[in-house]
Chains A and B, each alone.
Chain A
């Protein structure tokens, strides 16, 4: 099977999520990576080095620079004439573009796969991760988005794929990019690829308290900072901190949930973490049913004490 991986990148380097997609694609067959962007030579070079990628297609055009689905999807759909499967990361960018490609090819997309069970059989979570469905496609071509935390990341170095230029129709002329506001994460690791995550909930009271309690602990552990939907909705932190069904899906080695009750919406986003540590003053909080290590205590005393002891 010839597979095409839609590479997520910033025109200079390849996003981590793509490495997991390459692993999933390699389970199906030969892997070609597609880098569509503007001045994306750097990203194409990086994609060529990923272990397991046998060819890189580079579509360098101003129209693809901001990843607008209206422009990128027709390009991908055209290239798919030569491929059996398209795999994209289940990130906001992949989720935006892949279904548009699927409809253009008249196939059903398989969203957010957790495993490859056969050439056309995959598992995926439904009902916020409360059930795992095994689905088999009857479509001739496959369009798939891949949950990054469910697959090992392919090595970013070691490959030496040839880079080939491709072109498409360019600007569809029905949408335009206006601006982007990137939340400032400072030097912290990115949430979805962090080894350790310290996450706070509504119990943190307000934005200032959240920062005072959570940040020093995260600094000590070199951790990324996450939050529950309640903390985001209450305005303590920006919404890209949100871990859960409607936010980011994470699976770090250690997830520390502070003042988070453990609603199913939240658990859907973090229950695949290797070790879960929960600090909550309510000993009946559902978070303790999934936590490997729990501490029933008032976070306002416990967390600063912990931070200074570490």
Chain B
């Protein structure tokens, strides 16, 4: 079985994003970028499935600018076998990404596609579900545990109120939640080896996918700022305040 792992280059999760003064977006100039944290978990899970002897090859894919190569090299250094960069400087929406991924999946015929549940930039939480719909394959979203069981995959999912287990006929699409695993760090020798692993570059046009945006962002603003309130001296003062609020 082959596993396809889409990864996205996003602003590093430790960086506090700044909204541009003209309201056109978030300032990404000279900001540290990294692999989307949920995608690291996806790469890690794919590697663990391969290490367990349930998969032969891991193909990492990214849709984005030339610099997304760095993100793919990170995936290769973690343990992916080869990579495909679908290069474009446009901002590509989840629907178009899903269409590109479907075209790649049609060529590669993976048994599993493992994606992060959402990107921490646009917070959409759509691509995996959309890909599953386009491929007419089952989806195991917000995965907490993934087990391959013959030609099916059993996914324990994080849902509101607890956990739910579903069994999906492969090929299937899985999206990762935070607690699925702890991603490994790429070691220096592996980073060096990753430089020699194959990385194909394509364009959205190679797959015949129209990436014209369906949504227009007309403004990006700072959220309303909360004013810091007052600090109270001691517990008694705090209790008095709580009583004023009328909740006790």
User: Could you tell me if A133 and B217 are in contact, using CB atoms closer than 8 angstroms?
Assistant: yes
Q: Is the CB of A239 within 8 A of B179?
A: yes
B231 in contact with A295 (CB, 8 Å): yes
Q: CB < 8 Å: which of A92, A110, A182, A279 contacts B158?
A: A92
- Is the C-beta of A293 less than 8 angstroms from some C-beta in chain B? yes
Stretch at the interface among A34-42, A44-52, A97-105: A97-105
A93 touches B160 (CB 8 A): yes
Q: Which of B120, B137, B159, B232 contacts A92 (CB 8 A)?
A: B159
Q: If the complex has contacts A175-B168, A175-B169, A294-B232, are A125 and B223 also in contact, measured as CB distance less than 8 A?
A: yes
Inter-chain contacts of A128 with B (CB < 8 A): 120, 123
Question: Does chain B have a CB within 8 A of A68?
Answer: yes
Binds A, one of B70-78, B193-201, B236-244: B236-244
**Whole-angstrom distance between the alpha carbons of A106 and B91 in the complex?**
18
Q: How large is the interface on B (under 10, 10 to 19, 20 to 34, 35 or more residues)?
A: 35 or more
Q: Which of chain A's residues have a CB closer than 8 A to the CB of B215?
A: 108, 110, 135-138
CB atoms of B168 and A238 under 8 A apart: no
Residues B228 and A288 in contact, CB atoms below 8 Å apart: yes
B129 contacts chain A at the CB level, 8 A cutoff: yes
Binds A, one of B50-58, B60-68, B92-100, B103-111: B92-100
B86 CB to nearest A CB, Å:
18
Residues of B within 8 A of A220 (CB): 248
Is the beta-carbon distance between B26 and A277 smaller than 8 angstroms?
no
- On whether the beta carbons of B242 and A288 are closer than 8 Å, the reply is no
Tell yes or no: A195 within 8 A of B by CB: yes
B90 CB-CB contact with A under 8 Å: no
Q: Of all chain B residues, which has the CB nearest A294?
A: B231
Q: C-beta contact mask, A206-234 vs B, less than 8 Å → 1, else 0?
A: 00000000000000110000000100010
Complex Cα–Cα for A115 and B128 (A): 25
Q: Give me 11 other A-B pairs in contact (C-beta within 8 A), A131-B223, A138-B216 excluded.
A: A103-B131, A131-B17, A134-B219, A179-B165, A238-B162, A271-B226, A275-B245, A277-B242, A289-B226, A290-B226, A309-B235
Question: Can you list 29 residue pairs at the A/B interface with Cβ under 8 Å?
Answer: A68-B166, A69-B141, A93-B159, A93-B160, A97-B129, A99-B94, A102-B130, A102-B133, A103-B95, A107-B214, A109-B124, A121-B218, A126-B123, A127-B123, A130-B223, A131-B221, A132-B221, A134-B221, A137-B214, A138-B215, A173-B169, A179-B165, A245-B120, A277-B241, A279-B238, A289-B228, A291-B228, A309-B239, A310-B242
